[in-house]
A and B are shown apart, each in its own frame.
Chain A
Amino acid sequence: MRNGALRSELHPSDLVRTATIGARTRPLRAALSALGIMIGIGAMVAVLGLSESSKSELLAQLERLGTNLLTVEAGAGIGRGDAMLPDESIDMVARIGPVESTAYVVNVEANTYRTDLIPEAQTGGIGVLATEPNLLEAVNGTVAVGVFLNDASGRFPAVVLGSVTAERLGIESLVASPMVWLSEEWFVVVGILDSLALHPNLDRSALIGVEIAESLLDSDDPPTTIYVRTQPEDVVAVANVLPPTVNPEFPDQVNVTRPTDTLEAQEAADDTLTALFLGLGAVALLVGGVGIANVMVISVLERRSEIGLRRALGATRRHIAYQFLGESILLAGSGGLAGVLLGAGVTAAWALYQGWDTLVPIVAVVGGLVAALAIGAIAGLYPALRAAKLSPTEALRI
């Protein structure tokens, strides 16, 4: 009974009050010491948030572009130069059950110039492709200005420019009825395409009708690339039967790709970058933790007499340790909270700027806060133990 009466107790709300004394009496120092944690957590939350937001944007983009598009190209044949797709490929592909639509382009041996005065060697890297009006729909393309080729314009010297092509030729609008010099003929530009995320080769091409290509340029090559839209659930099955369908004799000379795979690969590359930035954030966090430990050690030295007073008032060593540990955790925790808000804010601002949906993963928010609190506990441990170890008489000596 005797010793039971001799227990020091600290009301939990008083523990919080004592742990906030340092921050209340020296707010600037507290804010500066929490800054490091805030930057570290902020960077990590922002990186995770941006990565998540861009991923969700990618998924939305894939959704828009459709993952049910396959492209068929001729692979390089062994010992026989460039292989070609057989002429009848298109009809055969169209007969595969789950195939919804097909379109194709034919490579035309020609170059496109702004005027007939430009030396022939300066091709600008622009290819010419012959195609049919259904291409635009097959690749989910849109026209920036003008119109796409139709059955009528496909028979005449009319051309639709890919976005990069238009830029290189310096053609931005159709107001002045621009023409381009294409294989010794003037072609009227009838439209310019928007950039196609999945088909950079189309961006760099000038598109003309198949009929004009045959009549004017004697082009009668088989299709270079076939675009195949399938029913979404049968993409893989169709991809597997495409090579033997297109070229029963040499199925291994047929390349089938799913363009959306490229985007996913790009995203995987971004993940490496995300990991790098997360590492940098962790370093900032570590430095922030060292900063807090530093400030806490100084604080314990400065507040010796307060520690002595508290021991005289009946504080146990444990109470003293809790007070300084609590102060450290509160500092780091508030830095962490500010960091989460900062990171979320940066993510939201960037997402807004890019027109994405803002997505801050909950694991980043919770993880960030937990990490901050843990760092506060670790950083405060040594100073708190030092404060607790101080003997009352030593602490009271001035």
Chain B
Amino acid sequence: MTQVLSLIDVVKEYPLTPPVRALAGVTMSVESGELVAVVGPSGSGKSTMLHVMGTLDRPTSGDVSVAGHRISRLSDAELSGLRSRHIGFVFQSFHLLAGYSALDNVADGLLYTGMSLDERKELATEALETVGLGQRLDHVTTQLSGGESQRVAIARAILGGPSIILADEPTGNLDSKTSAGIVELLHDLNRQGSTIIVVTHDLDVASNMPREIHLRDGLIESDQLKSIV
């Protein structure tokens, strides 16, 4: 097993008055093939942790490595390059481009790798089949239900097989039945080899995951590796 993500004593402070310490020294690592839930109440620092893990934000101090790259050594443009190939994002509000087909939205997952549109569409078709939307390729985003939209977003995140997939409250906007479907999909993808970190405040979602990290006040409260199915 290779390490795809590591945080070493990561601190993130926001320069407000008084300064807000969102992460107060977080150390953890994720191996390839893991499915991890990061849980915590709002204000626990989990959004900040997701941003730092996803290289969308740099820590105030400490080291973050993604796919073997120490991000403190990378320029802003190189971080973009890292995200384009190694990190897939799934957001609570899906962030699909309105008026575009499911296929076009998914194909945008590798937009910034310089790959041609035809190649990306080919991969996107496969990805949509993987998430169970093989019949919805040409549906415009407005014709999709919430669950379907999130599946499209997940297909976009897995496109090109990134080293790590970060899901930020992926079930936050969905009813419980649809949520269950999305969680099941994440488990499926993990079984097929994807490394996934799910950031959530939903304990039910987290309790099914093989590893649960609990955050409180910017610190890891518990990091539990379960041996469930």
Given A6-B78, A13-B117, A312 contacting B56 (CB threshold 8 A):
yes
Whole-angstrom CA separation of A11 from B98 in the bound complex: 22
Contacting residues of chain A (1-52) with chain B, CB-CB under 8 angstroms? 2-3, 5-11, 13-14, 17-18, 21, 24-25
Chain B residues lying within 8 Å of A5, measured Cβ to Cβ, are 81, 85
Chain B residues lying within 8 Å of A17, measured Cβ to Cβ, are 117
Q: A316 touches which one: B57, B80, B115, B156 (CB < 8 A)?
A: B80
Q: Is the CB of A14 within 8 A of B117?
A: yes
Tell whether B191 is near chain A: CB-to-CB under 8 Å. no
Q: Closest chain B residue to A315 by CB distance?
A: B112
Whole-angstrom CA separation of A393 from B58 in the bound complex: 10
Q: Closest chain A residue to B70 by CB distance?
A: A2
Q: Closest chain A residue to B68 by CB distance?
A: A2
Whole-angstrom CA separation of A5 from B82 in the bound complex: 8
Whole-angstrom CA separation of A21 from B97 in the bound complex: 9
Tell whether B179 is near chain A: CB-to-CB under 8 Å. no
Whole-angstrom CA separation of A24 from B101 in the bound complex: 14
Q: Closest chain B residue to A312 by CB distance?
A: B89
Whole-angstrom CA separation of A199 from B80 in the bound complex: 77
B50, chain A: closest CB distance, angstroms: 10
Chain A residues lying within 8 Å of B82, measured Cβ to Cβ, are 6, 314
Q: Is the CB of A14 within 8 A of B111?
A: yes
The majority secondary structure among interface residues of chain B is mixed
Chain A positions 299 through 324: 1 when the CB is less than 8 Å from some CB of chain B, otherwise 0 = 00000011011111111111100000
Q: Is the CB of A313 within 8 A of B83?
A: yes
Tell whether B95 is near chain A: CB-to-CB under 8 Å. yes
Chain B residues lying within 8 Å of A306, measured Cβ to Cβ, are 95, 97
Chain B residues lying within 8 Å of A319, measured Cβ to Cβ, are 80, 112
Q: In which size bucket is the chain A interface?
A: 35 or more
Chain B positions 89 through 107: 1 when the CB is less than 8 Å from some CB of chain A, otherwise 0 = 1010101011100000000
Given A313-B109, A396-B56, A3 contacting B78 (CB threshold 8 A):
yes
Q: A309 touches which one: B84, B95, B117 (CB < 8 A)?
A: B95
B7, chain A: closest CB distance, angstroms: 17
Q: Is the CB of B57 within 8 A of A392?
A: yes
Given A3-B74, A392-B56, A393-B57, A314 contacting B93 (CB threshold 8 A):
no
A27, chain B: closest CB distance, angstroms: 11
Given A313-B83, A393-B56, A10 contacting B78 (CB threshold 8 A):
no
Chain A positions 249 through 279: 1 when the CB is less than 8 Å from some CB of chain B, otherwise 0 = 0000000000000000000000000000000
Tell whether B76 is near chain A: CB-to-CB under 8 Å. yes
Q: Is the CB of A317 within 8 A of B57?
A: no
Whole-angstrom CA separation of A166 from B156 in the bound complex: 85
Whole-angstrom CA separation of A49 from B108 in the bound complex: 46
Contacting residues of chain A (312-341) with chain B, CB-CB under 8 angstroms? 312-319
A141, chain B: closest CB distance, angstroms: 69
Q: Is the CB of B99 within 8 A of A316?
A: no
Tell whether A78 is near chain B: CB-to-CB under 8 Å. no
Q: B112 touches which one: A8, A25, A392, A398 (CB < 8 A)?
A: A8
| A to B contact number (C-beta, < 8 Å) | 105
Chain B positions 107 through 128: 1 when the CB is less than 8 Å from some CB of chain A, otherwise 0 = 0110111111100000000000
A317, chain B: closest CB distance, angstroms: 7
Tell whether A123 is near chain B: CB-to-CB under 8 Å. no
Chain B residues lying within 8 Å of A2, measured Cβ to Cβ, are 69
Tell whether A231 is near chain B: CB-to-CB under 8 Å. no
Whole-angstrom CA separation of A6 from B93 in the bound complex: 28
A396, chain B: closest CB distance, angstroms: 7
Q: Closest chain A residue to B86 by CB distance?
A: A6
Q: Closest chain A residue to B93 by CB distance?
A: A398
Tell whether A391 is near chain B: CB-to-CB under 8 Å. yes
Chain A residues lying within 8 Å of B16, measured Cβ to Cβ, are none
Q: Closest chain A residue to B83 by CB distance?
A: A314
Given A306-B97, A311-B56, A391-B57, A10 contacting B69 (CB threshold 8 A):
no
Q: Is the CB of A316 within 8 A of B77?
A: yes
A321, chain B: closest CB distance, angstroms: 12
Tell whether B54 is near chain A: CB-to-CB under 8 Å. yes
Chain B positions 42 through 65: 1 when the CB is less than 8 Å from some CB of chain A, otherwise 0 = 000000000100101100000000
Q: Closest chain B residue to A317 by CB distance?
A: B76
Q: Closest chain B residue to A21 by CB distance?
A: B97
- Which 5 pairs of residues, A with B, have the shortest CB-CB distance? A314-B84, A9-B114, A6-B81, A314-B112, A392-B56
Chain B residues within CB distance 8 Å of chain A: 51, 54, 56-57, 69, 74, 76-85, 87, 89, 91, 93, 95, 97-99, 108-109, 111-117, 156
20 contacts between A and B (CB under 8 A): A2-B69, A3-B74, A6-B69, A6-B74, A8-B114, A11-B117, A13-B116, A14-B111, A24-B99, A306-B97, A308-B95, A311-B83, A313-B111, A314-B82, A314-B85, A315-B80, A315-B111, A391-B57, A392-B57, A396-B91
Chain A residues within CB distance 8 Å of chain B: 2-3, 5-11, 13-14, 17-18, 21, 24-25, 305-306, 308-319, 391-393, 396, 398
